[in-house]
């Protein structure tokens, strides 16, 4: 199936590695061009080069806590590629810990990055998109069911699902779509860190796999392919919903 991605242009945040980079690879493989952003200048430059360099990908050093970042990314897409058709908005996972033990400062910092940074980027990009544009928000299965030991994520991600729905209602009449993506256990650096934090990463991984109907941790490319489809014109009637990419781990209907 042709996803209709040829020469379309997407902005991806937090995309020097992990799920953002995996999605960028899938987009570029199907003919799209991308603007990647991350806080580490060397990492984002290397990621862009790995995707084919300036003809296919450019890197921008940026932090979503900076209110100017969304406008800079939209401008970069237009400057380098002449248009913008969508975005994948992702931020790093917040600190682990139970909600009762997390400090006020950790909550404030995570709100600025995970929540407000995402909302600001989504509304800025949505306002800039043409008919047929799409935004994907990388959230977490914690948006539907609390994950033990991830109190901040359990608190903030459900709110972002509500925001995504609200924005999809606002921009739907203009033909702009907004979809939340809920990754489960995917073998990124984030999940390696969470496994390591248990003190017995092999056991933690085995227990995680046992709780997944497919009995395995996903490869980032498996998420990337779903995200690329959601952002593509092939998914033109999907908006205002959340899509789990979790191997069946969520138990809700």
Query: Which whole number is the average pLDDT over 104-108?
Result: 94
What is the percent of the chain with per-residue pLDDT over 70, rounded to a whole number? Answer: 100
Question: Each residue of 117-144: b (16+ CB within 10 Å) or e?
Answer: bbbbbbbbbbebbeeebbbbbbbbbbbb
Cα radius of gyration (the chain) = 17
Max mean pLDDT among 64-78, 90-104, 144-158 falls in 64-78
Distances (CA, A) of 61 to 66, 69, 70, 115, 139: 11, 9, 12, 20, 22
pLDDT band at 26 (very low <50, low <70, confident <90, very high): very high
What is the percent of the chain with per-residue pLDDT over 90, rounded to a whole number? Answer: 83
* Element of type H or E holding 124: helix 117-128
Question: d(Cα 121, Cα 142) in Å, to the nearest integer?
Answer: 21
Q: What angle do CA 42, 156, 205 make, to 5 degrees?
A: 65
User: Do 98 and 151 meet the contact criterion of CB atoms below 8 Å apart?
Assistant: yes
pLDDT band at 17 (very low <50, low <70, confident <90, very high): very high
User: Do 91 and 140 meet the contact criterion of CB atoms below 8 Å apart?
Assistant: no
Q: Which residue, chain included where needed, has tokens 């003809």?
A: 55
Burial zone of 104 (CB within 10 Å; 0-12 exposed, 13-18 middle, 19+ buried) = exposed
pLDDT band at 95 (very low <50, low <70, confident <90, very high): confident
3-class SS letters over 23-61: HHHHHHHCCCEEEEEECCHHHHHHHHHHCCHHHCEEEEE
Give 113 or 235, the one with higher predicted confidence: 235
Question: d(Cα 205, Cα 203) in Å, to the nearest integer?
Answer: 5
Residue-level pLDDT at 2: 92
Q: Residue 191: name the closest of 205, 181, 180 by CA.
A: 205
Residue-level pLDDT at 112: 92
Mean pLDDT rounded to a whole number for the chain:
94
Quick: pLDDT tens for 216-252.
999 999 999 999 999 999 999 999 999 999 999 998 8
Residue-level pLDDT at 188: 87
Question: d(Cα 137, Cα 12) in Å, to the nearest integer?
Answer: 10
Quick: pLDDT tens for 30-88.
999 999 999 999 999 999 999 999 999 999 999 999 999 999 999 999 999 999 999 99
Residue-level pLDDT at 4: 97
Residue ranges and CATH numbers for the domains of the chain are: 9-183+222-244 (3.40.50.720), 188-217 (no CATH)
Question: d(Cα 102, Cα 135) in Å, to the nearest integer?
Answer: 31
Residue-level pLDDT at 232: 98
In the chain, how long is the greatest CA-to-CA distance?
50
Region class of 124: left (phi > 0), else alpha (psi between -120 and 50), else beta = alpha
DSSP of 166-223, one letter per residue? HHHHHHGGGT-EEEEEEE-SB-SHHHHHHHHHTS-HHHHHHHHHHTSTT-SPBPHHHH
């Amino acid at each position: 199936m042709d996803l209709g991605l040829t020469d379309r242009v997407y902005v991806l945040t937090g995309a020097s590695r992990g799920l953002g980079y995996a999605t960028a690879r899938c987009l570029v493989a199907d003919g799209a061009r991308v603007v990647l952003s991350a806080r580490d200048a060397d990492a984002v430059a290397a990621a862009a080069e790995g995707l084919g360099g300036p003809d296919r990908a450019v890197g921008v050093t940026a932090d979503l806590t900076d209110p100017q970042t969304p406008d800079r990314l939209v401008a970069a897409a237009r400057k380098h590629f002449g248009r913008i058709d969508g975005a994948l908005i992702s931020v790093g996972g917040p600190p682990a810990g139970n909600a009762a033990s997390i400090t006020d400062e950790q909550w404030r910092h995570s709100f600025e990055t995970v929540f407000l940074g995402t909302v600001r980027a989504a509304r800025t990009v949505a306002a800039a998109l043409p008919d047929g544009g799409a935004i994907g928000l990388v959230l977490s299965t914690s948006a539907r069911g609390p994950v033990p030991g991830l109190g901040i994520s359990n608190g903030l991600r459900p709110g972002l699902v509500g925001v995504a729905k609200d924005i999809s209602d606002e921009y739907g009449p203009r033909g702009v779509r907004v979809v939340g993506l809920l990754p489960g256990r995917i073998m990124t650096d984030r999940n390696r860190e969470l496994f390591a934090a248990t003190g017995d990463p092999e056991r933690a991984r085995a227990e995680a796999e046992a709780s997944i109907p497919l009995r395995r941790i996903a490869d980032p490319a498996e998420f990337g392919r779903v995200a690329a489809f959601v952002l593509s014109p092939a998914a033109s009637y999907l908006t205002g919903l959340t899509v789990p990419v979790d191997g069946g781990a969520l138990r809700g209907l």
